[in-house]
Structure 1
Amino acid sequence: MLKLFLLFFLSLSLLPFISCSDDYESFVYAGCSETKYTPGSPYQLNVESLLTSLSKAAESSTYANDTSSTASSADPAYGLFQCRADLPISDCDSCIRSALSQLSALCPAATGGGVQLRSCFLRYDKESFIGKPDNTLLYKRCGGAAAGGYASNIFGMRDAALGSLTTAPPTGGSYRVGGAGYVQAMAQCVGDLSPQECSDCVESAVAQVKAACGFAVGADVYLGKCYLQYWSNGAYPSRHDHVDETGKTLAIIIGILAAVALILVFLSFIRRAGSRGKY
């Protein structure tokens, strides 16, 4: 399996430029291979053909995988994309276009790369990864700790909500939602997994989120082929809301300081003018 260097720091550096209205396209993480392809090589042409094909597929579907070997059958490029199952096609298309743009900027000439946005995922590689389970933890985000630690009744609800995700839905598919009390949870597997492989991935995600985030009132974990989120009664706001509120608070503080400075300058000017008038 190709190892990708994950670029978690970008999830912080890009946040100030994201508004709540485009939350579904917000950056989570990216990974790029160490190896680079030769510009103009057959593999580059296969990658470009593959990404064009995936972009076209996103206009009518929330999941697709493809293999491109048009330029050279000896250097095929493998890839897939997936959007959150409840995302409208138009938003999925927009999300994948954003992922493609960021992938190009973050992983130039990389033989493999992937970008996870809030509601869509895109990956390509020189080695086939399609249809292969991967429960590797790639990214986690933990909310604040619940008051009272594990004694809080939120954790019984959390465990019940997460437990409801580990059973495949009767209709099949990779998108799962659950809840208990005031805790909600959701999970989604990449569409190339079987129902059993999906359940195995979600079970691994449940175990890893509990181990990684302990007493958190909400958390996200992203594994190689699935991700999981749980939250409780608005106690786990999106990081964009937090950044926006922080930005608003900072802007207010700066505005107040600027106003105070202007008042002081004006008063100083009045005092100097009054002093000159006495002579």
Structure 2
Amino acid sequence: MTTVQPNMPAAISLLLRLFLLLPLSSTAAAAADSWDSSLVYAGCSAATFPAESAAQLDLDSLLSSLANSAALSPYSSFTSSSVSGLYQCGGDLPLPSCAACVRAAIQRLSSLCPSAAAAAAQLRPCLLRYSNDSSFLGRPDTSLAFRRCGPPSPSSAAADRQAALSALSAPPGAPFRSAAAGAVRGAAQCAGDIGAAQCGDCVAEAVARLTAECGGAGAASGDVYLGKCYARFWPAGEEGSQPSSCAHRRRTRSADLWALFSLVVVVVVVAVSKA
């Protein structure tokens, strides 16, 4: 019978990789305390890049560049010979949380759309989008990506809701805008690759959809995400409970990683003692 000896270099390499990941996991968990990592929508093309192809390597490099840039700026875009991409974080999101959000979006796409030639993932506070058609950069896009209307609200909230939505669709200004009217809060955001006028048109379209499809039905909250912008409204105080559950999930994943690290340590120690 052939005896298989433990692959010590591989085991030690895995141990070192896990050890290096632990501080990153702790940092991600800390950054997650202030943002909601829930997925709003994701989509990908049927076309894919062949494994180990030049295009796949370009995509890997692009996603790495986007992830690194997110620690320095709330928006950036990159273009290579095969693929172009961008990310956009909410204007009220701190840069450490922006970086964590973009990395989370990359992980989502890696799972949902492996090697897709074009894909997009919208988490609550950030958008990640790439395509093998670079013409999407700088081009307005008001196609509907996601819509959700909440439960009915008291009729007394109708005036506040309309005031908040009207404030969001005011003349073009910053890519991120927020509004507060009585018991209603609102926010809108454009991708950074379109101009101020295009942003204004996109937000106006999103707000018009919200008004017609959610506000008209007396909804307490609503979300409309278009290709290059979104607009949302919700009751004041509703969002305060979301980050804590998100942080709990991140801390659980961090604890799981510590448990896995401990298990690998035990395996390596046993392997060394038997070698």
Same fold (TM over 0.5): yes
In the TM superposition, 1:33-72 aligns within 5 A as 33-69=45-81
- 2:133 alignment partner, SS class: coil
- Give the match for residue 107 of structure 1: 113
- 1:198 alignment partner, SS class: helix
Is residue 131 from structure 1 mapped to residue 138 from structure 2 by the alignment?
yes
Q: Residue 120 of structure 1: CA displacement? A: 0.9
Is residue 160 from structure 1 mapped to residue 163 from structure 2 by the alignment?
yes
- Give the match for residue 99 of structure 2: 93
Instruction: Report the RMSD for the aligned CA atoms in angstroms.
Output: 2.3
Identical amino acids, percent of aligned pairs? 43
Which whole-Å CA distance do the structure 2 matches of 1:58 and 1:65 have between them? 10
Q: Which contiguous aligned blocks of 4+ residues in structure 1 show a shift greater than 6 angstroms?
A: none
Of the three residues 83, 91, 94, the one matched with 2:89 is: 83
Q: What stretches of structure 2 of length at least 5 have no aligned partner?
A: 1-28, 247-275
- Give the match for residue 217 of structure 1: 220
Query: Does the C-alpha gap of structure 1 residues 237 and 145 become closer, same or farther in structure 2, counting only changes over 3 Å?
Result: farther
Which whole-Å CA distance do the structure 2 matches of 1:239 and 1:105 have between them? 27
State the one-letter code of the partner of 2:146. Answer: Y
Higher relative contact order (CA 8 A, sep 6+): 2
- 1:24 alignment partner, SS class: coil
- Give the match for residue 144 of structure 1: 151
Q: What stretches of structure 1 of length at least 5 have no aligned partner?
A: 1-17, 70-75, 245-279
Query: Does the C-alpha gap of structure 1 residues 238 and 136 become closer, same or farther in structure 2, counting only changes over 3 Å?
Result: farther
- Give the match for residue 254 of structure 2: none
- 1:164 alignment partner, SS class: helix
CA contact (8 A) 2:36 2:242 kept: no
Which whole-Å CA distance do the structure 1 matches of 2:75 and 2:181 have between them? 29
Q: Residue 237 of structure 1: CA displacement? A: 5.5
Q: Residue 222 of structure 1: CA displacement? A: 0.8
Is residue 30 from structure 1 mapped to residue 42 from structure 2 by the alignment?
yes
Q: Residue 168 of structure 1: CA displacement? A: 3.9
- Give the match for residue 248 of structure 1: none
Q: Residue 63 of structure 1: CA displacement? A: 0.4
Bigger Rg, structure 1 or 2: 1
